[in-house]
Structure 1
């Protein structure tokens, strides 16, 4: 997890691999393990990696997580000890991840997905002008409206849409609604 947060695998990834290796080796040396826990651990990691690569709608991820839980539960002598150890480790991991995330919030992998630029007029960006001043004004269709097209209102060509109906070319229309930059017209009968 820390490898993702710090956008690098080296130290956190190696520490995690060594930690799990020592965990399973200790269980094997104590006689609690028959080797199946290592098999299920590797299977769980493979399934989680496949979840990232193959669209499985979460099925591979759930199976991978279940295999990891099975590997850890059966590497202990009894299930109660395993459950307490897993919950303790999970709580400690959450605390460590939150502390590291706060400390290194500028370096995290999520920063690649966050837009940091601001679209302000001082930066040279010009927002599209509101079309609310067109409300109630009449014009003539330049193109057929099927339902989108162009209307001439006061000598200016405006992109408009209808409420779904077809309006022929050269018909008289009035602006009935304005939603941001979207101008909705209806035919004058």
Structure 2
């Protein structure tokens, strides 16, 4: 038995050892955050991208992928997204799902890794000015060159940031350059550079893949957990509403102005209120306006209302009300970093907000001018306003004529401070002094009558 004891001890140690050992956790999968850049690139989409990057940083993502299918959009928004990409400290990929034109191509150039789906296209980033009535507006040669030069410099900087050929980027902007690599001509002089997925391989794209999963496998992240930023239906609606901010401001402020100038509460007030609700709703859902902007607007409007209808003249209340209204509208159109109260004021974000506010206020002024000039003559306005004269010549009187009381003496039936009642014989009459206090029982004399307004003064002798 002694001979087997060492073997039994060893066997027991082998069986018991795992019970006291440290459990080894399986390796954590890398997290990849997928952010869509789809449809038009405009301020509300810019917020969605910011929100996605902020969430990715918060969750410590190992990489970020922009899934792109866009016809382009605003140069200012593209510049903001490029700047945002430069602040990301993890690998950033662009997957061109279908189209990456104009501003989309510029954003893609700012990322170090570009992959494309079969049939994808990237390029054609020359600046265009769209007409308000649709189509492209022709620019003067000097203006066109100025804009093209600025965008070309922006594209070169984006390409340098992403580690791509700056001349390739500039060829997407300037058609006169063309682009050639060795004996391969990708665009002739006079043609803007636009690349298909197969053409982009090797000179811009790192590969053609069917989807993001295949892209990550090729990029060395085959087992990554993919988390997609979801764009909510409310954000989609908000993107549409935010694009019409000046029109909503014009209808909202103009409708309220007309409502103030007309009796009762009718269609202008309803339309104005609805437009302002849509304005704040759209910018709130898009991440631009917060409830504090709505509260500031209501406070400002209340102060302005008090100044116009309650207090005489126009002073501190009115000026403060107008200032608060303008601040709330401007703040509602300026983007905020998610989770922060104050807006991120800078030149690019303020310029659009100020431009929209100026357009809206100009429209409001025009609405007020034409309403004041033509509304009183309209059938609708005349149907809401009493047209019959009610003056003395037509047999109307504002109040009972009490001029016969002038000079009469009586006694204050109660303390007058300054209004109250006085007895003139057997008649009780509501009277008022010129501001002085008169005690009950003091003799008074009527010194002025104007309709129902009877003014009295104190007689030195008591009755």
TM-score bucket (shorter structure):
0.5 to 0.7
Q: Find the aligned partners of 1:95 and 1:57 in 2 and give their Cα distance.
A: 23
Q: Find the aligned partners of 2:354 and 2:369 in 1 and give their Cα distance.
A: 22
Report SS of the residue matched to 2:300.
Answer: helix
Which residue of the partner structure matches residue 303 of structure 2?
47
| TM-score under structure 1 length normalisation | 0.52
The alpha-carbon distance between structure 1 residues 47 and 75, as it changes in their structure 2 partners (threshold 3 A), is: same
Candidates 3, 10, 29, aligned match of 2:285: 29
Is 1:85 aligned to residue 342 of structure 2? Answer: no
8 Å Cα contact 1:38-1:71 kept in structure 2:
yes
Q: Find the aligned partners of 2:367 and 2:262 in 1 and give their Cα distance.
A: 13
Which residue of the partner structure matches residue 3 of structure 1?
259
- 5+ unaligned residues in a row in structure 2: which ranges? 1-256, 335-348, 392-463
Is 1:96 aligned to residue 367 of structure 2? Answer: yes
Report SS of the residue matched to 1:101.
Answer: helix
Question: Deviation at 1:33?
Answer: 2.0
8 Å Cα contact 1:6-1:104 kept in structure 2:
no
What do the CA deviations read for 1:81-133 (whole angstroms, capped 9, x no partner)?
1211111112212222222333223448xx99xx9x9xxxxxxxxxxxxxxxx
The alpha-carbon distance between structure 1 residues 21 and 104, as it changes in their structure 2 partners (threshold 3 A), is: same
Larger radius of gyration: 2
Using CA pairs below 8 Å that are at least 6 residues apart, which structure has the higher relative contact order?
1
Question: Deviation at 1:40?
Answer: 0.5
The alpha-carbon distance between structure 1 residues 57 and 7, as it changes in their structure 2 partners (threshold 3 A), is: closer
Q: Find the aligned partners of 1:53 and 1:30 in 2 and give their Cα distance.
A: 37
Candidates 292, 309, 319, aligned match of 1:62: 319
Q: Find the aligned partners of 1:5 and 1:48 in 2 and give their Cα distance.
A: 14
Report SS of the residue matched to 1:13.
Answer: helix
Aligned length: 114
Question: Deviation at 1:9?
Answer: 2.4
Which residue of the partner structure matches residue 138 of structure 1?
none
Q: Find the aligned partners of 2:268 and 2:319 in 1 and give their Cα distance.
A: 24
- 5+ unaligned residues in a row in structure 1: which ranges? 118-189
Q: Find the aligned partners of 2:313 and 2:295 in 1 and give their Cα distance.
A: 22
CA RMSD after TM alignment:
2.8
Question: Deviation at 1:25?
Answer: 0.6
Candidates 8, 14, 34, aligned match of 2:270: 14
The alpha-carbon distance between structure 1 residues 99 and 56, as it changes in their structure 2 partners (threshold 3 A), is: closer
The alpha-carbon distance between structure 1 residues 5 and 75, as it changes in their structure 2 partners (threshold 3 A), is: same
Question: Deviation at 1:60?
Answer: 0.4
| TM-score under structure 2 length normalisation | 0.23
